Amino acid sequence: MIFRLITLEEITAYQKLLHSAYQSVSKLGIHFAAATAKQKQIHQHIASNAVYVLEAKDKLVSTLSIRFPWGNNPGPYGVPHLGWFATDPNYKGQGYGNQLWDWVEQQILIKQLKLPAVTLGTAANHPWLADAYIKKGFKQIGQADLTDDHTTLYFEKILNTQTYTEWKNRSKK
């Protein structure tokens, strides 16, 4: 297994991974942008965000993106925002998604970026995603009606309590 940043040369493989992984969500009547992203959108996504993949047997198996507050699609709370989390349906239930998630959290968000916190959003009407994020240590902090087909629930995970508290205290001034 290899954990790494994706390259622009992998747009077609990445698009295939996203579309196949999000197919089941689309069948629920929930539209996430990753489900139908065109290659131009994917190019912009890769160019503007940190897009990590787990590669196994020379195949992209799972992906997780970090959107930055200074990027073209920032999250709403001033910290990096996770998104476009997907695992190839042929590899579901084998732990690949969780391994990538844990690696990104520990190696990138905590050790490399030294983030105080991170956020993510998901559809309120998705049958299990909110619970999965709560099990990963996220707490709901807000919601918004961004599309016609679902309300987005926002979650936050504090990664470093001391720096989070210091950041919040500075933000109040």
* Residue 59 confidence (pLDDT) above 80: yes
Mean pLDDT of 14-24: 90
Range of the domain at 31: 2-88+96-172
pLDDT at 173: 67
pLDDT in tens, 120-166: 998 887 778 889 999 999 999 988 877 677 788 999 999 999 999 99
* Residue 96 confidence (pLDDT) above 80: yes
Mean pLDDT of 54-78: 93
Percent of the chain's residues with pLDDT above 90:
71
Report the CATH number that the domain containing residue 139 is assigned in CATH. Answer: 3.40.630.30
- Stated pTM of the model: 0.92
- Count of domains forming the chain: 1
Burial class (CB within 10 angstroms; exposed 0-12, middle 13-18, buried 19+) of 157? buried
Mean pLDDT of 15-43: 85
First CA to last CA distance, the chain:
46
Q: In a 3-state reduction of DSSP, which class is residue 145? A: coil
Mean pLDDT of 100-105: 97
Could you tell me which residues come within 8 angstroms of residue 148 by beta carbon, excluding any fewer than 6 positions away?
A: none
Task: List, in sequence order, the alpha helices (H) in 32-160.
Answer: 39-48, 96-103, 129-135
Q: In a 3-state reduction of DSSP, which class is residue 88? A: coil
CB half-sphere exposure, 26, CA atoms < 13 A: 12
pLDDT at 38: 95
